[in-house]
Structure 1
Amino acid sequence: MKVVVSRSGGFAGIRTTWEVQVEEQPDRSAWAELLRGLPWDEVSATAPQPDRYVYRIRCAPHEVVLSEQQVSGPWKDLIDRVRGVNEGH
């Protein structure tokens, strides 16, 4: 299972993408639990704000788009974990 997080927008408008293969992680059961617990179907669309980030999170069959102000709780945990794997933390 692959998780892809893309961040775009912000002041410079640069897109950054991080991804992780859950099966390759030593704590893959914790990843699976986190992914199962996300409120995939409860995300409401919000208008992006100027100079703020927009996050697109994909983990088939799910995909959500979150404005920066919606990134909290388990969504923030997921984004931080995916970034950490890609940045070697």
Structure 2
Amino acid sequence: MKIKVERTGGIAAITRVWTVDARTDSDLSQWQPIVEACPWDAVPSTPRAAAAAFEAPRPDRFIYSITAGQRRAALPEHALTGPWRILVDTARAAAEEAGGPLPGADTGEPG
């Protein structure tokens, strides 16, 4: 299962991408519960739909596009709570530990 988190927006409009490829049984047993805990059917699947679905848009905030296998979700930063926050933070940490963001993605943090 491939897990990809893409963060877009912010003041500088810089995109960051973190990817984890869970291939082994051990990897899948770690990632499956995290992925399954997220309410995939309760959120939009595209950034545009997320912007329309969540009231009170917040300019210059991040939008997270998340994929895990065939599942898709998009959430604004303020809605990234609970199991979504766990999934994003865990994927980001694992990707950075394995070598960082995808080539071409920004390597700096917003200041």
Q: Normalised by the size of structure 1, how large is the TM-score?
A: 0.87
1:88 matched residue in structure 2: 97
1:79 matched residue in structure 2: 88
The alignment yields a C-alpha RMSD, in angstroms, of 1.9
Structure 1: which 5+ runs fail to align? none
Q: Is the 8 A contact 1:22 1:32 kept in 2?
A: no
Aligned identity (percent) is 37
Structure 2: which 5+ runs fail to align? 45-52, 99-111
- Larger strand proportion of the pair: 1
- Aligned residue-pair number: 89
- The 3-state SS of whatever aligns with 1:32 is helix
| Structure-to-structure mapping, 1:1-89, within 5 angstroms | 1-24=1-24, 26-43=26-43, 45-46=53-54, 48-88=57-97
Q: CA deviation at 1:87?
A: 1.5
Q: Normalised by the size of structure 2, how large is the TM-score?
A: 0.71
**Using the alignment, how far apart are the partners of 1:82 and 1:61 within structure 2?**
16
